[in-house]
Structure formats: structure tokens, C-alpha cells
Amino acid sequence: MAITLVNGIVCDYISAQDRGLHYGDGVFETLAYVEGHFQFLQQHLARMQDGAERLGIPYPDESLFLGDIHKLLQKADAPRGVFKLILTRGQGQRGYRPAKKSIATRICQYSDWPEHIDNWKSTGIDTRICDTRASVNTSLAGIKHLNRLENVLASSELGANYQEGFLLDNSDNVIEGTMSNIFTVIDKTLVTPELTHCGIAGVIRGQVLKIAEENRINTEVRCVSKDEIVEAREIFICNSLLGVCAVNTIDGVKVQSNIITNIIDAALNKRMSLNA
Amino acid sequence: MAITLVNGIVCDYISAQDRGLHYGDGVFETLAYVEGHFQFLQQHLARMQDGAERLGIPYPDESLFLGDIHKLLQKADAPRGVFKLILTRGQGQRGYRPAKKSIATRICQYSDWPEHIDNWKSTGIDTRICDTRASVNTSLAGIKHLNRLENVLASSELGANYQEGFLLDNSDNVIEGTMSNIFTVIDKTLVTPELTHCGIAGVIRGQVLKIAEENRINTEVRCVSKDEIVEAREIFICNSLLGVCAVNTIDGVKVQSNIITNIIDAALNKRMSLNA
């Protein structure tokens, strides 16, 4: 089941002039609603505001988004679900150049919880290195914007045997998964790719880094080469729906250890219930 | 005035589940309709088909697009105008991964001719080098897809004093304008950036290269550095609405010559009337 609000009104359509369609001119967030609570709601809204500001899209009063998700929650009436928030620069005339004053379009969609990811979380997942590369652009790096063709193409490479794939930049550094951020453990240090020139800086990625610091786990945010990843003995991915999820294999090679993954997972679950 | 057809039916809305909105998962073309004829219609349709195939989006029977533009033409009833064709991967469920079988969404929009570009063409334009960079991604390079945030951000830098701006890649090579391809003349050779790692391979760019060959003008398609462009004595831009348009200044520096520009412009005009 899916229910959509456009600018606060139940509606399955948006204007064919919307710049979200024409240029991917907008930002989005994916929120997990679990056991009666939105996970890291404030962090998601803060990231959306930051992305909108970097793109020069007017960010609406936060109460409007809060009103939307509570309205949807009542309609959905389910113990858990996925809430996607989209903010576009709104309707535009022909041409790339934004109007001096834009009226942003606010979209809020509820979807049923994707049950298959519960299995992924309990068993771990098989992964590969994708042929599709991550787009390099310092102006856009880190933002969860609507230009996501690289994620679409990379995910279409996965087929039935892989649950996630990783994108490299054009220097063969690993950037992220098609729908997740990646962490690995190298010489007892938790390592995740820096996202200064491509990729999305995930909300859960930020939480994992905080948890590692609190637990005095050595951490590095740096360039991570493809070779380091395929030789890694511990890898996990994270996103807003999965939380943390162990990687079992990468390109068919077994990943042996889950020690740090389990520590982070337990701490994240605790943080989520406190956050709730 | 704007009129829109969605899948052949007059309609100002698209589904809020369309992957064009969620991921920019689609391609588009901008067609000039001038003096009773569509300019380079077959070349535009061929490029859209090529882009759709690279992205794995099912390309509909060409007669559907032809039907759309002729239906719009009757409604618009104007001697010239702009026709934008969009093809998205259609409606989708949650998640990046495309369905095995997609039903593409076909959008065709008529807009009034932008009169201001007639002035640009007769007087030439002032340009700058933009701070926003072109996204580097070999999987997407050359395709006129819907992930166009870089063009939006770059065009928002132009202000009132510049009609066009140029995007560099992350190695300080010039790639393209925000809405055009760029040509320059260096040592009597017509030079345009290669678009193997970023940029859009424009239909008019292709025509200019053919014209240069027919007129035995030396041509190079290669990396073009920022320094080469700011020191250039002849620069022009091209796109489907402008055809060819001379650049008068770049970052405030005068560009002196129009010799090759005028030859190409005259030949392009002739080609367009033959094409009509």
C-alpha cells in the first residue's frame, strides 16, 4: 500500500511542470517508522534542510512536514512503515535557471514495510562491486538529492544473487552501496569512505560514527580502495531501514568477522529505542 | 503558454510514483519548431532512443512520439515553438531497482518560443566560467538524461550579466555550457570538448562537426583546458533552439573573431532549411 500527500493534501499526482521531474531538482529523505516511533526524525529533517540550502531550494516550516507524516500515520494505521519525504524546487517555466522566488513542492509518501529486509538483517547479505560508477561532483557530494540514476543503474546490476552492490569512483575508490553506506574494519580500525567528492552522507552513517567514538573504537573517514574492500575481513552496510546489516560475501569472497558489526548494531538498537 | 500530453492525453499532471520524479530516471529532448518544420527531428528521436537503451528504459514505437507532437502542434497553432519530449521509466514501487518490465511514461510539452534568444543570436552573448562542476560519470556521459542538477546550479550562477556559463570537470577541463555545447578555434582548428566522461552530446554539436568536415575545416574533439578557453580568440555555443551563437566575452575578456562561427552558422541554416 502507498499513500501520498502533495503539499499536505492526499493526491497521487504532481504537476508535469515540476522541476523535480524535469531536472531532479530536489532532495529527499527515507524515514523508518518502527514500534510507534520515527527513527532519527530530527536528523533526517536537519539533513534535508541542509541539502535544500546547498541547492538554494526554500525549506518550508518544519511543522508542515511533521503535520504531513502524522496525517499519513493516521491513514496508514500500521505498526511500522516507510515514510519518504521529497522537497522539490516546485513548478517552473522552461529552462534550467531557477526563478528568483520558488514555491517548493512538498511530497510525503507512506509505503508498507519491506519485509524482505528483516531476513537480510538476520542472515547477512551477499554483495558485489558494481560496474556503474559513482558520479564525481563536489557541488553535489553528500546531498540526498533527486539525481539518482547512478543508484538505479548500479542496482539493476544486482540480479537475484546479490542484495547490495558497491559503487566505485573513477579512481577505483569505494564510495557507497546502491542504497546504503559501507563500513569495513582494517587493522582493528573502523573505516568508511569520505564523501567529499561523491556519495550520500547517510543519517545512520553519522550515528555509526558517533557510536564508534563513544565506544572508543578507532575510526577513519578516508579514501578506501577497491582492493582494501575485497580483501576486508569485516564489512557492514547501514541505512535508515536496515540500521546495520552484516556483509557475508563480496564478489563471492567470504567476509569472516562480525565482531565490530555486532557491537555497533547493539549500540544502534539501544540508541534507536532511546531516540524513540 | 504551455500544453502537455502525458502518454498522448492532454494532462498537466504525472503520477507521484513516477521514477522520473524520484530518481530522474529518464531522458529528454528539446525540439525547435520553426517556419513549419521540426529541426533535426530524426536525430533527436535517434538520440533519445540511444539514451533510453543505455539506461535500459523501453523505447516506445516512434509513431507515438510523432503522433504526440502533431497533436500538440494543432493545439498550439503557432509559427514556431519549443517541443520537449520526456521518456521516463514509468511508475515504480519503492527502491532504486527497476522492475523487470517497465511501462515507460511519455511526456510531450509545447512552450512558446523564447523570444530573448533571437537577440542573443543577433548580438552574441557574454559568458563566464561557472563554479559548479560537471559530474564525472562514464556510465552517464553523453546521455541527455533527467539528472540535471549541475545545469540548474551552474545556471543559477549567471545573474543578469551573463547569458551562458561553462562547466569544468574536476581536472579543470571545459565540458559544456549550462544549456549548450561549446566550440572554440585554436590555431585555425575547430575544437570541442570530448564528452566521454561527462556532458551531453548535443544534436547540433553533431551537425557542426559534420559541417566542419564537409567544409574541410580541421576539427579536434579532445580535452580542452580552462586556460585554452579563456585565452581563445573565437568561441561559439550551439543548441537546438539557438543553432549557433557567437560568444563576445568570457569572464570579461573580449573574444575577437567570428570567422569560423559565421561559416558554420550559414551552413547550419542551409542544412536546417534543407532538413525542413
CATH number, residue A182: 3.20.10.10
DSSP state of A101: S
Computed over its alpha carbons, how large is the radius of gyration of chain A? 19
Do B106 and B131 share a structural domain?
no
Do A81 and A156 share a structural domain?
no
Closest to A166 measured CA to CA, from A138, A126, A202: A126
Instruction: Write down the ipTM of this complex.
Output: 0.96
Closest-approach residue (CA) in chain A for B132 = A139
pLDDT in tens, A43-59: 999 999 999 999 999 99
B223: exposed, middle or buried (Cβ count in 10 Å: 0-12, 13-18, 19+): middle
- Residue B100 has a pLDDT of 87
Mapping DSSP onto H, E and C, the string for chain A reads CEEEEECCEECCEEECCEHHHHHCCEEEEEEEEECCEECCHHHHHHHHHHHHHHHCCCCCCHHHHHHHHHHHHHHHCCCCEEEEEEEECCECCCCCCCCCCCCCEEEEEEEECCCHHHHHHHHCEEEEEEEEECCECCCCCECCECCCHHHHHHHCCCCCCCCEEEEECCCCEEEEECCCEEEEEECCEEEEECCCCCCECCHHHHHHHHHHHHCCCCEEEECEEHHHHHCCCCEEEEECCCEEEEEEEECCEECCCCHHHHHHHHHHHHHHHHHC
Do A270 and A137 share a structural domain?
yes
- Residue B210 has a pLDDT of 97
- Residue A108 has a pLDDT of 98
Q: Does B137 touch chain A (CB under 8 A)?
A: yes
- Residue B275 has a pLDDT of 63
- Strand pairing class (A235-239; B2-6): unpaired
Do A145 and A216 share a structural domain?
yes
Closest-approach residue (CA) in chain B for A16 = B13
Do A193 and A58 share a structural domain?
no
- Residue A77 has a pLDDT of 87
Do A201 and A261 share a structural domain?
yes
Q: CA dihedral in degrees (B4, B8, B11, B12; nearest 10)?
A: -40
pLDDT in tens, B233-262: 999 999 999 999 999 999 999 998 899 999
What is the mean predicted confidence (pLDDT) over A138-152? Answer: 96
Q: Does B248 touch chain A (CB under 8 A)?
A: no
pLDDT in tens, B80-111: 999 999 999 999 888 999 998 899 999 999 99
In the predicted model, is pLDDT for residue A93 greater than 90?
A: no
Best residue in A27, A80, A136 for a mutation probing chain B (most B CBs within 10 Å): A136
pLDDT in tens, B20-63: 999 999 999 999 999 889 999 999 999 999 999 999 999 999 99
Do A127 and A100 share a structural domain?
no
- The pTM assigned to this predicted structure is 0.96
Number of domains present in the structure of chain B: 2
CB neighbourhood size of B1 (10 A): 9
Contact A137 B133 (CB under 8 A): yes
- Strand pairing class (A37-38; A26-34): antiparallel
- Residue B50 has a pLDDT of 97
Closest-approach residue (CA) in chain A for B153 = A55
Mean pLDDT (chain A) is 95
Residues A64/A85, Cβ–Cβ less than 8 Å: no
Please list every residue in chain A whose beta carbon sits closer than 8 Å to the beta carbon of residue B81.
Answer: none
The residue written with cell numbers 524482505 in the block is A116
Instruction: Look up the domain containing B76 and give its range.
Output: 2-113
What is the mean predicted confidence (pLDDT) over A6-23? Answer: 97
Domain end point (choices A113, A134, A165): A113
Residues B45/B29, Cβ–Cβ less than 8 Å: yes
Contact A16 B6 (CB under 8 A): yes
Q: Does A174 touch chain B (CB under 8 A)?
A: no
Q: Does A20 touch chain B (CB under 8 A)?
A: yes
Domain end point (choices B79, B113, B147): B113
Do B99 and B26 share a structural domain?
yes
Residue A266: its H or E element: helix A259-275
What is the mean predicted confidence (pLDDT) over B195-208? Answer: 95
B254 three-class SS:
strand
Contact A111 B134 (CB under 8 A): no
Q: Does A139 touch chain B (CB under 8 A)?
A: yes
Q: Does B139 touch chain A (CB under 8 A)?
A: yes
- Residue A36 has a pLDDT of 87
Contact B24 A151 (CB under 8 A): no
A1: pLDDT confidence band, cut at 50, 70 and 90? Answer: confident
- Residue B35 has a pLDDT of 85
Do B259 and B142 share a structural domain?
yes
Q: Which among A24, A136, A158 has the least Cβ separation from residue B147? A: A24
In the predicted model, is pLDDT for residue A261 greater than 90?
A: yes
Best residue in A152, A162, A178, A180 for a mutation probing chain B (most B CBs within 10 Å): A152
- Strand pairing class (B243-250; B125-133): parallel
pLDDT in tens, A195-250: 999 999 999 999 999 999 999 999 999 999 999 999 999 999 999 999 999 999 99
Please list every residue in chain A whose beta carbon sits closer than 8 Å to the beta carbon of residue B93.
Answer: 2, 111
- Residue A276 has a pLDDT of 52
What is the mean predicted confidence (pLDDT) over B177-193? Answer: 97
- Residue B276 has a pLDDT of 52
Q: Does B161 touch chain A (CB under 8 A)?
A: no
Distance from CA of A261 to the nearest CA of B (A): 25
Beta bridge pairs of residue A224: A174
Beta bridge pairs of residue B272: none
A35: pLDDT confidence band, cut at 50, 70 and 90? Answer: confident
Do B108 and B175 share a structural domain?
no
Q: Which of A188-192, B13-17, B50-54, B73-77 is the least confident region?
A: B73-77
Do B212 and B255 share a structural domain?
yes
Q: Which among B21, B137, B153 has the least Cβ separation from residue A150? A: B137
Residues B40/A39, Cβ–Cβ less than 8 Å: no
CATH of the domain at A70: 3.30.470.10
In the predicted model, is pLDDT for residue B222 greater than 80?
A: yes
Q: Which among B11, B55, B140 has the least Cβ separation from residue A16? A: B11
Do B129 and B106 share a structural domain?
no
Domain end point (choices B113, B142, B175): B113
Q: Does A77 touch chain B (CB under 8 A)?
A: no
Closest-approach residue (CA) in chain B for A106 = B16
Contact B136 A137 (CB under 8 A): yes
Mean pLDDT (chain B) is 95
b/e string for A213-223 if b means 16 or more Cβ within 10 A? eeeebebeeeb
